[in-house]
Copies of this chain bind each other. A is one copy, B any other.
Amino acid sequence: MRRTVVVTDPPRADDAVATALGELGTATVHEAMGRGGYLGPQFRPAWTGAQTGGTAVTVECWPGDNLMIHVAVEQCRPGDVLVVATTSPSSDGLFGELFATSLMQRGVRGVVLGTGIRDVADLRRLEFPAWSTAVSAQGTVKATAGAVNVPIVLGGQVINPGDVVVGDDDGVAVVPRAHAADTLAKAEARVANEEAARQAFKGGELGLDRYGMRERLADFGIEYVSYEDYHKGE
Contact = CB atoms under 8 A, between A and B. Distances in A.
Contacts of A127: none
A221 B4 contact: yes
Given A135-B169, A221-B4, A224-B8, A201 B35 contact: no
Contacts of A169: 120-121, 124, 135
9 contacts: A5-B225, A6-B225, A9-B227, A25-B121, A27-B93, A30-B137, A70-B211, A70-B213, A88-B138
Interface of A: 1-11, 25-27, 30-31, 33-36, 38, 40-41, 44, 47-49, 51, 62-64, 67, 70-71, 73-74, 85, 87-93, 96-99, 101-102, 105-106, 116, 118-121, 124, 134-139, 141-145, 149-151, 153, 156-158, 161, 168-171, 173, 179, 182-183, 194, 197-198, 201-204, 206-208, 211, 213, 217, 220-227, 230
Contacts of A217: 71
A7 B102 contact: no
B116 A27 contact: no
A213 B142 contact: yes
A142 B35 CA distance: 13
B227 A5 contact: no
A170 B102 contact: no
Contacts of A119: 27, 170
A7 B225 contact: yes
A64 B64 contact: yes
A9 B227 CA distance: 6
Contacts of A116: 41
A70 B208 contact: yes
A121 B168 contact: yes
Given A179-B1, A201-B105, A91 B89 contact: yes
A157 to B, nearest CB: 7
Nearest to A179: B1
Nearest to A6: B224
Contacts of A38: 88, 136-138
B136 A40 contact: yes
A9 B226 contact: yes
A230 to B, nearest CB: 5
